[in-house]
Structure 1
Amino acid sequence: MFNYYIDLAWRSLKRNKVLTVLMVLAIALGIGASMTMITVLHVMTADPMPGRSGKLFYPQLDPQGMEGYIKTSDPPDEMTWMDAMNLLHAHRGVRQAAMSGGRVTVVPPQGATHAFMADARYATADFFPMFGVPFVDGSGWTADDDDKHARVAVIARELADKLYGTPHAVGQTLRLGKYDFRVIGVIDRWNPAPHFYDLSMGSYAKPEQVFLPFETAMELKQGIRGSMMCWGDFPADGNMTKANGCAWVQFWVQLDTPVQVASYRDFLINYSAQQKALGRFARPPNVRLRDVMQWLDYNHVVPGSVQLQTLLALGFLLVCLVNTVAMLLVKFLRRGGELSVRRAMGASKRSVFAQLLVEAALVGLAGGVVGLLLAAFGLWVVRQQPVEYAAYAHMDGSMLGATVVLAVCATLLAALFPAWRACRLVPARLLKTQ
């Protein structure tokens, strides 16, 4: 029976080609515009750490002075060096990592005349297992390497290929400025988006090429990048990185159970109270503990303009569907005589209704295919824009299927009233006029 409905629908669509083309274009334009923006929104709201994000938390403390204090205000986004080191060595989480962005001068084997700058990440040992960083060769360093300020490095596969012509570069010497480091690991392609672990680099920053032990990088005075918030008096030696009044270190902790989360939050409150008693903190305990997705939401990683454009695109799809309803209504009512003949020959209202919905589904399927092409073009246009997320505007398999499903479902929804109205026609009255 379904094949019979397909045959009837195909004949009907060919009978009035202009109206069929108009309906397909209406659906395609609405689907193309809406799926372009839905795909962009999907990319920007994606979980950068699937399966891990609910266990990774970003603690915040408030070590600032009382000037400008508001009870409901949020703590600084970063930590001071001392607080980050205190939390790190307290080992109250399953894993914990302190880090900061940096920039280093890479001197290739060809010599200093070919030196170039590369983005770096200074972090403690748990960074790699906590974030599930994949390795193509070797591994990360250990906590013992952190303590000894070891001159070891992990590099990205892209940099290994560029410097040594192979991703298997463990044991090679990496020269950064005037210092030599031993390569102990090469990271496979890894680029979580958004760049959740350090949003100060940009929500969709490119992945770092060089990773160094945090304390080693500070000892060798490697350049840091990112935000730095300072208050109070500046240190006499001018070293802002280890000043009590400068927050610039990102800190992440892994907590596997709700009990651990509650315990760590209590630990942060007690730590803040202790530091206030010691005179380091002036404000009452003011802490936050957000997981990855909560942290992204707090920082408004998805711009309001993208959300607005998505709503406008969905509104355009609704307008296209209303136009499709009108065209389907005209088309189905014009076929009143044909449908009445089918009813007179014994077809039930349900059969006629199903036939009309199959015809609408074919229109939706064709509109979905054309809409895919329009969405692909729309995403190409987005990738040409000077915005951070442009490079990520690609349609994945899930969105590909969602486009076709949305097109068919939207068209079927639009066809419900026209099909119901056509089935309400009285066959006897129409047959008399034929």
Structure 2
Amino acid sequence: MFQYYFLLGVRSLRRNPALTALMVLTLAIGVAASVATLTILHVMSGDPIPHKSDRLFVPLVDNGDIENYKAGDKIDDDQLSYRDAVNIINSKAGERRTAVFGIAIAIEPERKDIGAFNARGLAPTADFFNMFEAPFLHGQGWSPADDKAGADVVVLSRKLSEKLYGDADPVGKRMTMGGFQYQIVGVLNTWNVVPRFHRIIGNNDGAFSEEEEMYIPFSNAIRHEFPRNGSTSCHQDIAPGFQAFLDSECTWIQGWIETRSASDRAELQSFLDSYAIEQRKLGRLKRAAPNMLYDVREWLDYQKVVGNDNKLSVWLSFGFLVLCLVNTIGLLLAKFSVRAAEVGIRRALGASRREIFAQFLIETTVVGLVGGLLGLLLAFGALALIAMQSKALTLVAHMDWVMLLTTFGLAVASAIIAGLLPTWRACQVTPALQLKSQ
């Protein structure tokens, strides 16, 4: 019977075409608005590295001034000083450790048709690429020995590599950056991590920034005293000179530690607490604030990657969907009311109320399917318009299979909910009254 009722539902679309089109359009607009905002929230709040997000941790210690500090206050800084970053890198904590800060370096291409230009990049340690599973197109990252030596080596993004060398494999070639000759050891494939959890601080677009263009060793950037491209926080005045800056309590480096398993978190916390105690003995970390560890999901929450305004937008869009459903209910009542005579005849011929209910509910499901298809097209259009607003929105305004299925599920569910009252009203038709009126 389901197939029969479904075919009746398809045929019913041709009845009162204007009314049917209005129902489908009303439902589609409500679904499109809801799905478009829900898609953005879904992408923004996703786990960027789900199989190990509970094993990657951001360590934070409070090295701020003791003035105006109250016992129990949480750390008010999101980065590490150079001293703390180096100490953590050189420790045996976890399985892998890295320190990262942003750089911007002038590149002097060999090609005469390309002038010198600035490129954005990162200065991490060697563990960075394996820790965050960066996808290599050519070559590989540098070695721990290169870290120790501050070697002049570089890993390029695919986009920068193609700009400088076309489709050729540039590994082994040398290029001039910041006035120094660097050997290319690897090229990353396109790496659009959403959210870009390992590089939230210091980017104009935060967790939804574009991928970096190149990577050089942390120690190399320090050795060449390259300028920082990111956020720096200093609690007190410092003496002139780069070394004085390194020796200061200014925070400008992001630290990450990877453990072998999630259960090693307590051990890592113990290490961080012990480290803070040792530093206090040296006259540092005077606030004695709680030392913090954030795994990936906690870090995204702490950084408010998904803001309250994003959640509010979703609630407002679903409120709009409810209004569309109210209108759809009214249209279905009008559509089914003109079929009272048909229902009366069917009831007189022996059809039960249950069968009438099933028939009309399946018809509303057909309306939901058509509304879902149109809503999907409208949602794609809405996301395309949203993506045109900024580069950051381009990364989040796209639909995956989960949201494709959600679109149809939401449309069908909405149509069924909207059709419950009209269908119930249709089942209350009294056959004798309808036959008498005929």
User: Which of the five TM-score ranges fits, normalised by the shorter chain?
Assistant: over 0.9
Among candidates 302, 309, 316, match of residue 305 of structure 1: 309
SS at match of 2:191: coil
Task: Name the amino acid aligned to 2:31.
Answer: I
Equivalent residue number for residue 66 of structure 2: 66
Compute the displacement of 1:59 (Å).
Answer: 0.9
User: Match of 1:196?
Assistant: 197
**More displaced 10-residue stretch of structure 1: 355-364 or 156-165:** 156-165
Distance 1:134 1:113, change over 3 A: closer
CA change 1:240–1:113 in 2 (3 A) is farther
Mapping of residues 35-74 of structure 1, within 5 Å = 35-70=35-70, 71-74=72-75
Query: Structure 2 regions of 5+ residues with no counterpart?
Result: none
Match of 1:165 in 2: 166
Deviation at 1:111, TM superposition (A): 5.6
Aligned to 2:115: 114
When normalised by structure 1's length, the TM-score is 0.95
Shift of 1:191: 1.7
Cα distance in 2 between the residues matched to 1:288 and 1:207: 27
Partner of 1:123: 124
Give the letter aligned to residue 396 of structure 1.
Answer: D
The 5-angstrom pairing of residues 16-415 of structure 1 reads 16-70=16-70, 71-110=72-111, 114-199=115-200, 200-201=202-203, 202-237=206-241, 239=243, 241-386=245-390, 388-415=392-419
Aligned partners of 1:32 and 1:371 also within 8 Å: yes
> How far off is 1:322 after superposition?
1.1
Q: Equivalent residue of 2:49, what SS? A: coil
Question: Match for residue 433 of structure 1?
Answer: 437
Shift of 1:239: 4.3
Q: Which has the larger displacement, 339-348 or 405-414?
A: 339-348
Return the alpha-carbon distance in structure 2 between the equivalents of residues 79 and 16 of structure 1: 68
Q: Distance in 2 between matches of 1:186 and 1:371?
A: 41
Q: Is 1:11 equivalent to 2:15 in the alignment?
A: no
Runs of 4+ that moved beyond 4 A = 238-241
Q: Distance in 2 between matches of 1:119 and 1:131?
A: 19
Distance in 2 (CA, whole Å) between partners of 1:167 and 1:393 is 32
State the alpha-carbon separation in 2 of the partners of residues 83 and 153 from structure 1.
25
Residue 101 of structure 2 aligns to a residue whose secondary structure is: strand
What's the CA shift string for 1:166-194, capped at 9, x where partnerless?
Answer: 35211010210211111111111112122
Q: Please tell me whether the aligned partners of residues 137 and 167 of structure 1 are also in contact (alpha carbons under 8 angstroms).
A: no
Distance in structure 2 (CA, Å) of the matches to 1:112 and 1:239: 39
Q: Deviations over 1:187-229 (max 9, x none)?
A: 1111212221121212211111111010011101122111111
Deviations along 1:384-413, one digit per CA (max 9) or x if unpaired, are 224732443122232222212211111011
Contact 2:24 2:371 (8 Å CA) reproduced: yes
- Which deviates further from its counterpart, 5-14 or 18-27? 5-14
Structure 1 167/394 Cα, relative in aligned 2: closer, same or farther at 3 Å? farther
CA 1:406–1:113 in 2, change beyond 3 Å: closer, same or farther?
Answer: closer
TM-aligned CA deviation for residue 99 of structure 1: 0.9
Maintained 8 Å contact 1:365/1:407:
yes
Distance apart, 1:154 and its partner CA: 0.8
Which stretch shifts more, 357-366 or 112-121? 112-121
| Change in CA separation of 1:112 and 1:339 when aligned onto 2, cut-off 3 Å | closer
Shift of 1:236: 4.5
Q: CA deviation at 1:362?
A: 1.1
SS of 1:92's equivalent in the other structure is: coil
CA contact (8 A) 2:225 2:242 kept: no
Indicate conservation of the 8 Å contact 1:365/1:404, yes or no: yes
Structure-1 separation of matches of 2:343 and 2:368: 22
Q: Which residue identity is paired with 2:415?
A: T
CA contact 2:336–2:426 (8 Å) conserved in 1: yes
- Partner Cα separation in structure 2 for residue 88 and residue 80 of structure 1: 12
Aligned partner of residue 251 in structure 2, secondary structure: strand
Local SS of the residue matching 2:211: coil
416-425 or 117-126, larger mean C-alpha shift: 416-425
Deviation at 1:152, TM superposition (A): 1.1
Residues 249-273 of structure 1 deviation map (CA, whole Å, 9 limit, x = unaligned):
1001112434310111111112112
> Which SS does the other structure have where 1:406 is aligned?
helix
Q: Aligned partners of 2:242 and 2:171: how far apart in 1?
A: 37
Residues 39-79 of structure 1, C-alpha deviations (whole Å, 9 max, x = no match) = 12122212222322222111111011211213223241000
Q: How many pairs were matched up?
A: 434
**Cα offset, 1:2, TM superposition:** 2.3
- Structure 1 residue 113 displacement after superposition: 7.4
Q: Per the alignment, in what secondary structure is the counterpart of residue 350 of structure 2?
A: coil
Q: Which amino acid aligns with 1:410?
A: S
The letter of the residue matching 1:8 is: L
Shift in CA distance, 19/111, structure 1 to aligned 2, threshold 3 Å: closer
Q: Determine the C-alpha separation between the residues in 1 that align with 2:152 and 2:129.
A: 17
Instruction: State how far apart, in whole Å, the 2-side matches of 1:238 and 1:219 are.
Output: 10
Worse overlay, 308-317 or 39-48: 39-48
> 2:234–2:251: 8 Å Cα contact kept in structure 1?
yes
**How far apart in 2 are the matches of 1:102 and 1:213?**
11
Query: SS in structure 2 opposite 1:103?
Result: strand
User: What are structure 1's unaligned runs of at least 5 residues?
Assistant: none
CA displacement at 1:431 relative to structure 2 = 2.3
Q: Is the 8 A contact 2:106 2:177 kept in 1?
A: yes
Q: What SS class does the counterpart of residue 51 from structure 2 fall into?
A: coil
